[in-house]
Amino acid sequence: MKRHILLWLIPLLLLIGCAKAPVTGRTQIIMLSPEQEMALGFQTEKEIFKTEKITNDPRYLLPTKRVGHRIAKATGLDLDWKFYVIENDKIPNAFCLANGHVFVYTGLFKYIDNDDQLATVMSHEIAHAIAHHVAERVSVTQITSVATAVASEVIRAKTSQYQALYEAALGIGSQVGVILPYSRMQESEADHIGLILMAEACYDPREALTFWEKFAKTSKGGIVYFSTHPSSSQRIEQLKRLMPEAIKRYNVCHLGDRVE
């Protein structure tokens, strides 16, 4: 039995690579190579172009490109940065793929009053990409799958009674105990990195609070169980704690004109 478990674990341990997240310095476990991560981004993009309608409406595209390029410059990364707008007024969201291609839904603009607030969302999404959060989540899922399989094998060897129940519990436990908390942590980290990015791009970080407070009023509020995002109150409190650092960066930024 021990030998069988080792056959699962040894290849996994050999594949694991450690990295550091930008700004926060958090140690990450990433099993995907940069080439695999980039390929995943391009494959996702192909599916997006098949299923979503891309608009060139200047009301949305011009501010998206204007804000996006400044935030991209603040990252210091030489990616193939591109910016698209998806025509869908029902989804107030945005996302950034590993290849540096950013997509913003038209539905987001209902909640945007200025470039600083648009920068709040775009910097958060770009933060996910530069922190390799998708690659990290894939890696954690792979590790969790192996660990669950090993635990299931141990249970199977010990008893056949209630085996299906135990295995179902293992699956739920891995989701609630590992993957979902990890996702919430990444969301909080993206808020942190994004706040610093927008400040270094000369967008007023105080507008992040304005945006999220306004956005929170449109939702039902409270913590949604099994949600991959922190609650609005947690997000806002974290931004308040990080604001002094962001203001310092904003006061010395040089990528654009600050509005006092």
- pLDDT tens-digit readout, 144-171: 554 444 444 544 555 555 445 444 433 4
> Which band of pLDDT confidence, cut at 50, 70 and 90, is reported for residue 142?
low
User: pTM of the entire structure?
Assistant: 0.76
Flag whether 183 is in a domain.
yes
The single residue of 125, 187, 189, 207 carrying the catalytic annotation is: 125
Flag whether 224 is in a domain.
yes
Identify the domain containing residue 78 by its residue range. 18-251
Flag whether 257 is in a domain.
no
Which pLDDT score, from 0 to 100, does residue 166 have?
41
Q: How far is CA 64 from the centre of its chain?
A: 19
Average pLDDT, the chain: 79
Flag whether 12 is in a domain.
no
Split into its structural domains, the chain has a count of: 1
Burial letters 240-254, b for 16+ CB under 10 A, else e: eebbeebeebbeebe
What is the rounded distance in angstroms from the CA atom of residue 51 to the CA atom of residue 41? 16
Based on the residue annotation, tell me whether 245 is a catalytic residue of this protein: no
User: What does the pLDDT average to over 211-238?
Assistant: 68
> Which band of pLDDT confidence, cut at 50, 70 and 90, is reported for residue 217?
confident
What is the rounded distance in angstroms from the CA atom of residue 11 to the CA atom of residue 214? 48
Flag whether 29 is in a domain.
yes
